[in-house]
Structure formats: C-alpha cells, structure tokens
Amino acid sequence: MKHYKGLVRRAVAAVGVAAALAVPTLGSAADDTIKIGYIDPLSGPFANVGDAGLKHFKYLAERINADGGILGKDVEIIGYDNKSSAQESLQILREAADEGVQYITQGNGSHVGGALVDGVEKHNRRNPDNRMVFLNYAAVDPALTGEKCSFWHFRFDANSAMKLQAITDYMAEQDDIKKVFLINMDYSHGQAISRIAKEMLKEKRPDIEIVGDVLHPVGKVKDFSPYISQIQSSGADTVISGNWGNDLSLLVKAGAQGGLDVDWYTYYAGGLGTPTALGKAGAEHVKMLTEWQENLVEEYEAPELREILEEFEQRYEGIEFYYLRIKTQMDMLQQAMEKAGSTDPLAVARALEGMTMETPFGTVTMREQDHQLLQPLFISTFSEDYPKYDSEGSGLGWVMNAKLDAASTAVDSVCEMKRPSS
C-alpha cells in the first residue's frame, strides 16, 4: 500500500509537470499580433491532413510577417486540435474568443464547418464588442453559403456544387463515359455530392446511367474491397468520389488491387499523403478537380508560386504545397485589412464582401451575395508522364487537362444574407 501511495504521488507530480509544459504561457503573445485560430484535427485518423493545413498557414503567415506584416502587425497562427468533432470545435471557439482570437479558420469536415458557422453567429450576437470572422478554407457543403449562409463566414474553396458543376461540364464532353458510380463519405459533404451529381448528370448527359450510389462510414472502413466488388459488378466505367485523406487512398488502392479499370473523378487526390498512398495504383486513372497543382506553374507565368512550392517542399520534408486557396485566403485577408485600415472584424468582413484579386491563374472574386469565392479551377490527371514536378516523390505527377474559368464555375445560391447594421 505504501508503494502504491508513492506511485500515485509520483504520477500526480508527473501529470502536473506535463500540464505545466503543455499550457502555453498566457499573455506572452503581444496584443499587436493578428491572431488566427486554426481549428482542425491534429490527432486521430485525419491528423495528417490537419497537420499539413497548419503548416501551410504558418508558412504563409511567416511570409507575410517577413514582408512587414499587415498594418504593421504580425500574423500569428494558433493551432487547436478539434479531433474532427463539432462539439470539441465549439468549445475551442469559446476558448479562442477568450484568448483574443478574432479570426478563425477551419476546413476539414462540413459538419464542423456548419457548427462553427452557428457558433460564430451566436457568439457575435452575444458579444457585439468582440466579434469573430470564420474563414473557411475547405469545408465544401453548399449549404454553408446557401440556406445556412452567414455574414461572418467566408469560403475560399469552391463548394461541392461548383466542383460538381465543373466536373460534370468536363464529363459531358467525354463521350466514352457511359456508366457512373458514386461512392462518398456518409456525412453532409458526401450526401451533397451524391444528390447534386445525379441532378447535374441527368441534365447535362441524360444518356449516362448512374449504376451505383453508395455512402460509407467516415474514417472507419479499412478494407474497401467489398465496395470495389460492388463497383466491378455494376459495370461502371467512371467513379465520382469526394473522399479525402485515407478514405480516398484506401479506396483507390483497393480498386487497383482488385483490377478495377475505371476513371476516378476526385476532389482531393492531389496531396497530403494521398499521392504517396496511391502510387502507381492511380496512374492515368485518377483525375482531380482543384484550384492548384504544382505543374500549373509550367503552364502559367507564376514566379512567386514556383518559389513557394519549392521552398515549402524543402522546408517540410514529405509535405508539398497543396492549398493555393490558403494563400488566396491570407492575401485577401491582408488586402481587406489594408482596405479597411483596421483589423476590426466587422470592417474587415465588409471589405472582403465583393472583393476581387488578381492571381497568376486569373481573377478571383468573393461573391457578395453568399461569401463564396469564385476562382479558376483545373481538371488534372495523375500520370507517369508529367511536365516537371512529381507529387511527393512518387514518380508520378499531375497533368492539366482543362481549365474552367471562375465565372463558369459559379452556381446560384439561395442565400439571403442578414447583414449587421453596426
């Protein structure tokens, strides 16, 4: 028993020390920084995705700071681990507000994005002196800029409906597509794809047959071979999937192992470990729709992006520059703050509305009606025969197939924005 007490005491002491080390020293960050709270999974099955996003933000913030910051203030990125949970994220939101964070950003999971839109709305109503702006870099459920739209939410990624519009526009021109299979993750994002893809294909190519439409649990399936058998027996020649992270890698990998001969139209095959996991399994068969892939700098004049992609890769071994939209987001935030001459959330949000910006690939616009960014999108194929940059040292790279102009990707929104009067 004596031993046991000793053990407990030592354990308590150890926990105390650990806690002291883990809690960041409060008040150490000066008030003259612009704090951006990054709320995404930093542990669990999607930790790799969340970690890579955080590195993008930190890297881009450093670049801004090296250039003198925004309005003379440094940008500080604070990472919070939400473990992919909406509940956890709302708690973090309160915590961040207490720490003086006025800008939050999140991307992984529209279920979390939706909770944060609500959370920020409520917070701003209750605390008109301490408002927050939500910059969404990747949660693509159309509802967030549709029926659920909020004045405090800005989305810098094309939403799912826009991506599907672009994908189906491209598919409509591919005459060899006859049978399409939909497989998606079972939450708002995947459900939206399943619904919208069917509508759009029916309209653009009524001759295409939808031979399957499956939703699977998020992050829980280890072995996708039963799904592959299903796709195989459906006779599909094309699969559309909005899967991301390991749910995409495992799916395509299982497909290659099962000898499945289809074209994959995806959103997220381009980075964050997925190319590594795909390897040769994905060659010539995996396509993606994105606002960016490395070999675009070979097609367009973009010296700054070339520098970023090379520097980023050198700096973070194994991770490549994947989110051009995070750069767009940071650049537009900077412009909006400079235009407003202040970092006050309301003034900045007003400045962001309707803002346009030139990028190497064309003009981007933050649509006033629903706070959805319109930007050029590209369809690319994963190939052994790529222009210059391979993806994650896999020996395969992305080849651009088509560019879709910002205007052509626009999809009407049902958003009726309620704007604060003061």
State the Cα angle at 38 between 34 and 43, rounded to 5°: 150
Place of tokens 């000793």: 6
Closer CB to other proteins, residue 111 or residue 153? 111
Residue 132: closest CA among 92, 102, 94: 102
In the 8-state DSSP scheme, what is residue 264?
E
Q: In what order do the strands lie in the sheet with 356-359?
A: 356-359, 362-366, 373-374
Q: Least distance (Å) from other proteins to the CB of residue 56?
A: 13
Distance, CA of 318 to CA of 51 (rounded, Å): 12
According to DSSP, the β-strands at 103-106 and 133-136 are parallel
Contact set with other proteins (CB under 8 A): 3-4, 7, 43-48, 51-52, 186, 214-217, 219-223, 225-230, 232-233, 246, 249-250, 253, 257-260, 272-273, 276-277, 279, 317-319, 392-394
Q: Least distance (Å) from other proteins to the CB of residue 398?
A: 17
Closer CB to other proteins, residue 221 or residue 417? 221
Helices (H) and strands (E) in the chain, counts: 14, 15
9 Cβ contact partners less than 8 Å away, ≥ 6 residues apart: none
Q: Least distance (Å) from other proteins to the CB of residue 230?
A: 6
Q: Least distance (Å) from other proteins to the CB of residue 351?
A: 35
Closer CB to other proteins, residue 38 or residue 151? 38
The structure tokens listed for 45 are 């099955």
Closer CB to other proteins, residue 228 or residue 404? 228
Q: Least distance (Å) from other proteins to the CB of residue 412?
A: 28
Q: Least distance (Å) from other proteins to the CB of residue 48?
A: 4
Q: Under a CB-based contact definition with an 8 Å cutoff, are residues 419 and 369 in contact?
A: no
Distance, CA of 190 to CA of 241 (rounded, Å): 8
Backbone region of residue 290 per phi and psi (left: phi > 0; alpha: psi in -120 to 50; beta: other values):
beta
Closer CB to other proteins, residue 174 or residue 230? 230
4 Cβ contact partners less than 8 Å away, ≥ 6 residues apart: none
In the 8-state DSSP scheme, what is residue 176?
T
Tell me the torsion sign for CA atoms 228, 234, 235, 236.
negative
Residue 174: closest CA among 204, 199, 200, 194: 204
Q: Least distance (Å) from other proteins to the CB of residue 225?
A: 4
Closer CB to other proteins, residue 314 or residue 422? 314
DSSP result, 27-72: T-S-TTEEEEEEEE-SSSTTHHHHHHHHHHHHHHHHHHHHTT-BTT
Closer CB to other proteins, residue 175 or residue 223? 223
Q: Least distance (Å) from other proteins to the CB of residue 189?
A: 15
**Helix (H/G/I), strand (E/B), else coil: 202:** helix
Closer CB to other proteins, residue 137 or residue 227? 227
Closer CB to other proteins, residue 58 or residue 204? 58
Q: Least distance (Å) from other proteins to the CB of residue 292?
A: 18
159 Cβ contact partners less than 8 Å away, ≥ 6 residues apart: 140, 141, 142, 144, 145, 372, 411
Closer CB to other proteins, residue 1 or residue 30? 1
Q: Least distance (Å) from other proteins to the CB of residue 282?
A: 13
